[in-house]
């Protein structure tokens, strides 16, 4: 199976491991991430204003590219997933938006939300199957207690994303189980890390992340995994605690599949 892959700005820069480990793991599990040519940055945040047209265009260009390739669109970054999926939903639900975007873009044929958008984790759950992932594991994470950090962007708004139950998700816990680890449930796993406000106010983001990390530690997590580069950065930079490191979920996957060994997961 080949998917149109939208990497996003950060996966080409500070989050290269998220990208590289995702691509090699995909190949090992029997699917290919084919990068969309000339993709443009999604902007990092969906603007919900109904008269916001220009901020939707880069996502629609990527969606239209996938449509022409007759492929589903896959992302690894939570933010790209959130922005592109919400944009696609607006193109289906909001006829005024659809008309204005198409008037602006003048594509060969109007885009009307035909492309399906998936996060890499959804591909593992719904297309590959966690049972098949489990069969492919060569270095199981025996005895490792792993906390899944979802943050906001994978889950909300739940009505649009339909990724998992936004208040009690389990996809990342099932992922951890498939790799042979023990998932640790902690109640702040779907609360915000402070996001982009880190740029203005490092203290504010630090307060959020400290609460999240202390909660995960209290529940016994050895480390956390995330799909979001900004969550990873905020948690690593601003925490008062140094005991619980944060890794990308694809680093854990590539290690378990025997593709990229990492000492800390042994």
Residues that bind other proteins (CB under 8 A): 8-10, 13-15, 41, 43-52, 55, 77, 79, 152, 155-158, 166-167, 191-192, 194-201, 204, 208, 228-230, 232-233, 237
Q: Distance between CA atoms of 19 and 10, rounded to whole angstroms? A: 9
Tell me whether residue 178 or residue 213 sits nearer to other proteins (CB atom).
213
Tell me whether residue 46 or residue 111 sits nearer to other proteins (CB atom).
46
Instruction: Report the nearest approach of other proteins to the CB of residue 73 (Å).
Output: 18
Instruction: Report the nearest approach of other proteins to the CB of residue 2 (Å).
Output: 26
Longest CA pairwise span in the chain (Å): 56
Half-sphere exposure of 187 (CA within 13 A, CB side): 0
Neighbours of 261 (CB within 10 A): 10
Tell me whether residue 31 or residue 150 sits nearer to other proteins (CB atom).
150
Tell me whether residue 29 or residue 60 sits nearer to other proteins (CB atom).
60
Instruction: Report the nearest approach of other proteins to the CB of residue 236 (Å).
Output: 8
Instruction: Report the nearest approach of other proteins to the CB of residue 50 (Å).
Output: 5
Tell me whether residue 9 or residue 257 sits nearer to other proteins (CB atom).
9
Tell me whether residue 110 or residue 166 sits nearer to other proteins (CB atom).
166
Instruction: Report the nearest approach of other proteins to the CB of residue 243 (Å).
Output: 20
Tell me whether residue 74 or residue 230 sits nearer to other proteins (CB atom).
230
Instruction: Report the nearest approach of other proteins to the CB of residue 221 (Å).
Output: 20
Instruction: Report the nearest approach of other proteins to the CB of residue 159 (Å).
Output: 9
């Amino acid at each position: 199976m080949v998917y149109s892959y939208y990497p996003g700005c950060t996966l080409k820069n500070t989050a290269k491991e998220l990208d590289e480990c995702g691509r090699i793991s995909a190949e090992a599990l029997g699917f290919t991430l084919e990068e969309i040519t000339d993709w443009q940055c999604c902007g990092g945040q969906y603007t919900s204003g109904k008269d916001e047209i220009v901020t939707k265009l880069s996502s629609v260009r990527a969606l239209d590219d996938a449509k022409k390739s007759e492929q589903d669109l896959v992302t690894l970054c939570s933010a790209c997933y959130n922005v592109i999926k919400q944009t696609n939903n607006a193109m289906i639900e909001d006829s005024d938006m659809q008309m204005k975007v198409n008037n602006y873009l003048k594509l060969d044929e109007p885009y009307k939300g035909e492309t399906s958008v998936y996060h890499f984790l959804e591909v593992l759950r719904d297309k590959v199957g966690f049972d098949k992932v489990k069969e492919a594991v060569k270095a199981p994470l025996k005895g490792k207690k792993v906390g899944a950090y979802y943050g906001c962007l994978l889950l909300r708004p739940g009505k649009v994303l339909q990724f998992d139950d936004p208040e009690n998700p389990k996809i990342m816990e099932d992922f951890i189980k498939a790799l042979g680890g023990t998932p640790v449930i902690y109640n702040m796993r779907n609360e915000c890390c402070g996001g982009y406000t880190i740029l203005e106010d490092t203290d504010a983001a630090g307060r959020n992340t400290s609460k999240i990390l202390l909660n995960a530690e209290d529940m016994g997590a050895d480390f956390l995994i995330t799909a979001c580069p900004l969550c990873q950065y905020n948690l690593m930079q601003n925490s008062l605690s140094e005991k619980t490191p944060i890794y990308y979920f694809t680093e854990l996957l590539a290690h378990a599949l025997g593709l990229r060994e990492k000492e800390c997961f042994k």
